[in-house]
Structures are given as C-alpha cells and as structure tokens.
C-alpha cells in the first residue's frame, strides 16, 4: 500500500516537473527562438537591411547635395554683391572683377555683358594653361553672339526664378574631360529695361580639388560612425556615365573602384554630375549577409545554451528527486531495521523474565540473541549518528598510531562466532610485521564491520568471507571478500553514494539503510585513502580499503572528505 502511494507520488512529481519545464520554460524559449529565427529569415528574404542602408545612403546624398549647392550659392551671392556696374569705366569694371577673382579662387572666368559687349576677366594664375587661355580669349565673342540673341529672355528667366540660371558642360582640355558650370545672373542696381548680365564660371579644378572633396569628407567623417564604424566612400562622376564604368571626377580617399551602391544626379548648380556612395572595402550586401549570418550563429548558440540549461535542470531536479525518493526509502528501511531487533529483544527478554526457560543452554541461546540484536541496533544507530555528523560537517576523527593488524584481528574476533554461526567459512590472512599506521581506531573498526556485515548480508549459497590485510608499496590494504550475489557493473560506482541500494531482489529483501558504504568511503578518504570494489554479479565481491602509511595531514584529521 505504502509502496503504491509513493510510486504515484513520484510519478506525479515527475509529471509536474516535466509540465513546469515544458510550459514555463521550454514553450516560451522555443517560441522565442522560432520568432527570432523567422524574423531573421524575413530580414534576409525581404532584403530589409539592404533597403535600410539604401534609404540612409539616399538621405546622405541629399544632404551633401544641399550643402554643396548652399556653398555655391553663397559664393555667387558674394560675387554678385561686388559686381561692377555697366556704367563703370572699363578699368573700374576690370578692377572690380579682378577683386572678386582674387577673393574667391572658386571662379575661373567672370563676365559682364552690357550694351558695350562682353568683358571677360579670368583667374590670372590659370592663364598659363593654354586651354584656359583659349577659353578666355574666345569667350567674349561667344557671349556677344549668344546674349545679343537671347540676353533679354535669359534676363527675364533669372529674374523670374530669383536666382541664377546654370549652364553646365564638359570641355576637353588636353584630352581630359573638364566639367564646367556657369551661372548667369542679373547685376544688382541696374535698371530693368537694360540687358546687362553677369556670368560666373566655376573653376573646374577648384570644384574637383576643394569643393567636392570638402563636402565628401565632411559627410564621411560625420556618418561613418553611424554605420557601425564602417568607413564610407563617396564619388562625384559625370551623370551620363551612370550605369557604366564610372570615371570619378572627385572621390574620397578610400573609394577604390567600382560602382557606388547608391547614386544621385545632382541638380543645379552642378547639373551633369552625379554623387555616389558606398562602403569602403565592402558592400551593403556583404554587410547584410555578415550581420544575418552572425545573428543566426548567436541565435544558434543561445538556443543550444537554453537546451543545455534545460537538460541540466532536468538532470539536477531528477537527481534531487531520486535522492528524495532514496531518503524516503531510507526512513522506511531504518524504521523497519529498528523495529525488528527491538521486537526480538523484547520477546526474548519477556520470555526470560517469565522464568519459563529452564535449561541453561536455552537461556544462553536467548541471551546471545538479545546481545546480537542489541549489537545490530548499536551498529545501525552508530551508522546513523556518524552519517548525520558527516552531513552536518561535524564528524571528527582522532588519529593515533595504531597496530592495524591487532585492530583488525580484535574486530574480527568479536564477529567470529556470529560468522561461523551463520555457516560462513572465514578466511583470515594478516601479513606479519606490518608497520604502525595513523588511524582512528573506532572508524576503521566500523568500516570493517560494515564491509563484513555486507558480505554476510549479500551472500546466498556460497557462504565465504575472506579478510586480508597486507602492505603494498606505501599503502596498507584491507580486503573483504565474499562469494555472494555480486554487484552489477552500473551499480558499482553508485553503491558508495548515500542511501543507494542496488536493484537486486535479494538486496531489497535484506534489511539495510544504504548508509554503510558511504560511511566506509568517508572514513577511507578521511584517512587519505580510498575504497574500491571488484565484483562479478553471481560470483561475489571484493572491497579493498587502502590506508596510506605516514602521518595523516590536517585536512583529513578534520574529517572533511
Ligand atoms: P545497505 O547494505 O544498508 O543497503 P550499504 O551502503 O552498505 O547499504 O550498501 C549499499 C548497497 O551496495 C547495498 O544495498 C547492496 O546493493 C550493495 N552491496 C554492498 N555490499 C555488497 C556485497 N558485499 N555484495 C553485493 N552487494 C553489496
């Protein structure tokens, strides 16, 4: 009845544990992993990362373009404010235009067109370049032709717009493509009906070497940090090259080769140019793939850790539950073990008390039984007390230099009668002249008693008990051998654990607490030695307790094993 109840309780606990682990941990963990995994997959499939990068890159390009335009407009505004009036003398006009040229290197040519025709002044230090000089020389004629025809309408257009009109083109200088952007604007302070125009041409070199690189570096420095430290690279290139191999007009230092990830056709004032951006040394695709890959790996490791944690938890809890079960078995075993000798002692004592036993032989037999049963009780109680001391960390050993042979012989002597009574053949072999050993006498005697008791308990047909004491190198060994039921291989390491009892039916029919061998192990380890077992199921077992020679060290003396 009791057994059945316990089983149900055990089953219920296990079920509850699995249910808790499943519902409270496994399900949410699995859910989380699944959701994350799917999210990563969808990020990968829908190229969300790439799209995000593209969006951001587009924004950067727009910002850059705005900044470049702002700068160009402010340079033009400054120039316009200083522009000569058509009514100035020619030398005054030249002086004013030269002043603007000297103030801003950004302009290549400056032109004033009025009723007298076009006056063109150019950046003096560039006049050494023959192409530049040619442009300078041919400009007045072309402007005169053009503006005489269209000057009026151009003037109207720029007035309507409220800002300059731009003309950009690609010129060839020494087989090199040169970008040119010219701003046509109205000259301030001139009567509306007069056709007077100013033209400021940006110096291609200035754009290439100052304006664009500056704009590029500013953005690069600011934004690379946002991109997880991945350096950005930017390029300015002719718009008509978009989609083909690009020929950079200006580029940031680490641009290298290839097409930009995202590009933007620039509007006025730099029409005809495109601005492109990419990562230095890597691509968005690569970055996205690395990111996703890394996240998959992290997710995988975390999942493994969760699974490992669950397995470990289950393992620990199962172990705790097994110990709890062993403990409850222990309580019932011990109560049983206490009850039987007590009942016998009472029965025989009462019988003797009644004075019904007349023969001395019978009386002696009864006395022996009472003694034997009380000895069993004492042994059991000693075991339990020792065990509780060990558990509480209070077990202390008292080491004395001892004649171990005499100790073993004495202990066996008090058992000899009982052993022979039970029909066992006792074979005792004690090596002569063994050195003295530092031991706790009582503890070693108890270890031996436990081993002998087990040999008696776990033998059925062949009743043999062998006890050997001998020296091997620097160790004294105490062997207890039987030809009993033996121990299965898988049980051999477990029998030294507290409460553990093997599953053999004979073991279950034999009284026991599962404490004896755990005590023996504690005792042997406290002496700096160990206990081993060699056993074949059905053939018997041999327990070997080894004790090192020499003084025990303090750790052992405190009994902490
Ligand atoms: P107990 O004998 O009280 O059960 P022990 O700690 O002394 O506890 O032994 C633990 C288990 O080891 C026993 O239950 C038994 O299964 C096994 N065992 C111990 N000694 C022997 C032996 N000599 N032969 C076979 N099995 C043994």
Q: For the domain that residue 165 is a member of, what is the CATH number? A: 3.30.450
Q: Are residues 266 and 121 in the same domain?
A: no
d(CA 264, CA 57): 10
Residues 56 and 99 in one domain: no
Q: What residues make up the domain containing 110? A: 82-202
Distance 517 CA to ligand 1 centre (A): 7
pTM above 0.75, yes or no: no
Q: Which of 514, 506, 469, 517 is nearest to 484 (CA)?
A: 506
Measured from the CA of 450, which atom of ligand 1 is nearest? 7
Three-state SS for 126-169 is HCCCHHHHHHHHHHHHHHHHHHHHHHHHHHHHHHHHCCCEEEEE
Span from the CA of 513 to the centroid of ligand 1 (angstroms):
9
Q: Is the same domain home to 60 and 95?
A: no
- pLDDT at position 391 over 60: yes
Report which of residues 69 and 219 the model is more confident about.
69
Phi–psi pair at 195, nearest 5 degrees:
-90, 90
Mean pLDDT of 310-326: 83
The residue whose CA has the least distance to atom 12 of ligand 1 is: 495
CA distance 537 to 277: 79
Pocket of ligand 1 (CB under 6 A): 450, 454-455, 458, 482, 484-487, 495, 500-502, 507, 512-518, 541
Residue 229's contacts (CB-CB under 8 Å, 6 or more residues apart) are: none
Least confident of 177-191, 254-268, 295-309, 334-348: 254-268
The stretch 159-183 carries a mean pLDDT of: 83
Tell me, what's the pLDDT at 12?
Answer: 55
Same domain, 114 and 170: yes
**What average pLDDT does this structure show over 340-352?**
89
Q: Write down the pLDDT at residue 235.
A: 77
Residue 67 CB coordination number (10 Å):
15
Same domain, 443 and 473: yes
Q: Are 179 and 212 in contact (CB under 8 A)?
A: no
Q: What are phi and psi of 439, to 5 degrees?
A: -145, 165
Among 517, 520, 537, which is best to mutate for testing ligand 1, by the most ligand atoms less than 8 A from CB?
A: 517
Tokens for 391, please give them: 């558990």
Task: Name the average pLDDT for the chain.
Answer: 83
Of the ranges 247-261, 278-292, 314-328, 452-466, which is most confident? 452-466
pLDDT exceeds cutoff 90 at 432: yes
Nearest in space to 452 (alpha carbons), one of 438, 471, 436, 468: 468
Domain closes at, from 186, 202, 218: 202
The number of distinct structural domains making up the chain is 3
Tell me: pLDDT of 557 over 50: no
Name beta bridge partners: 180.
169
Residues 465 and 521 in one domain: yes
């Amino acid at each position: 009845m009791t057994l059945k109840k316990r089983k149900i309780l055990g089953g219920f606990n296990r079920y509850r544990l699995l249910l808790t682990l499943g519902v409270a941990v496994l399900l949410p963990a699995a859910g989380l992993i699944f959701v994350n995994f799917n999210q990563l997959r969808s990020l990968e499939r829908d190229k969300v990362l790439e799209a995000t990068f593209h969006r951001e890159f587009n924004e950067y390009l727009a910002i850059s373009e705005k900044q470049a335009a702002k700068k160009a407009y402010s340079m033009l505004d400054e120039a316009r404010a200083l522009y000569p009036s058509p009514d100035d003398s020619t030398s005054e006009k030249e002086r004013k235009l030269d002043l603007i040229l000297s103030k801003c290197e950004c302009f290549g040519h400056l032109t004033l067109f009025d009723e007298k025709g076009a006056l063109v002044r150019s950046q003096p230090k560039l006049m050494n370049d023959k192409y530049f000089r040619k442009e300078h020389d041919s400009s007045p004629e072309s402007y005169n032709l053009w503006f005489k025809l269209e000057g009026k309408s151009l003037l109207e257009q720029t007035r309507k717009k409220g800002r300059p009109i731009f003309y950009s083109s690609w010129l060839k200088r020494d087989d090199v493509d040169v970008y040119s952007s010219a701003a046509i604007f109205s000259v301030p302070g001139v009567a509306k009906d007069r056709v007077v125009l100013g033209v400021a041409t940006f110096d291609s070199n200035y754009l290439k070497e100052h304006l664009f690189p500056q704009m590029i570096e500013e953005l690069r420095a600011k934004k690379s940090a946002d991109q997880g430290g991945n350096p950005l690279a930017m390029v300015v290139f002719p718009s008509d090259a978009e989609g083909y191999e690009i020929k950079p007009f200006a580029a940031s230092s680490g641009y290298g080769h290839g097409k930009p990830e995202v590009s933007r056709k620039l509007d006025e004032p730099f029409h005809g140019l495109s601005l492109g951006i990419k990562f230095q040394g890597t691509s968005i695709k690569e970055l996205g793939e690395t990111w996703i890959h890394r996240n998959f790996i992290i997710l995988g490791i975390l999942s493994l850790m969760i699974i490992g944690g669950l397995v470990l938890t289950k393992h620990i809890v199962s172990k705790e539950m097994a110990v709890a079960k062993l403990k409850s078995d222990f309580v019932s075993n011990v109560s049983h073990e206490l009850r039987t000798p007590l009942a016998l002692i009472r029965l025989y004592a009462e019988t003797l008390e009644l004075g019904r036993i007349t023969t001395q032989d019978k009386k002696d037999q009864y006395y022996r039984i009472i003694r034997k049963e009380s000895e069993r009780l004492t042994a059991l109680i000693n075991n339990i007390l020792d065990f509780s001391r060990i558990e509480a960390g209070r077990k202390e050993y008292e080491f004395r230099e001892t004649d171990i042979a005499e100790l073993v012989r004495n202990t066996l002597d008090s058992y000899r009668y009982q052993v022979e009574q039970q029909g066992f053949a006792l074979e005792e072999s004690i090596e002569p002249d063994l050195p003295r050993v530092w031991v706790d006498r009582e503890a070693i005697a108890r270890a031996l008693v436990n081993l002998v008791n087990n040999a008696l308990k776990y033998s059925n047909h062949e009743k043999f008990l062998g006890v050997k004491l001998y020296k091997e190198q620097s160790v004294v060994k105490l062997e207890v051998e039987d030809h009993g039921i033996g121990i299965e291989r898988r049980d051999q390491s477990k029998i030294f654990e507290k409460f553990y009892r093997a599953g053999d039916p004979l073991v279950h029919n034999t009284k026991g607490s599962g404490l004896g061998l755990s005590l023996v192990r504690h005792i042997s380890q406290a002496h700096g030695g160990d206990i081993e077992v060699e056993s074949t199921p059905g053939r018997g077992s041999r327990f070997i307790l080894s004790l090192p020679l020499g003084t025990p060290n303090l750790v052992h003396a405190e009994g902490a094993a």
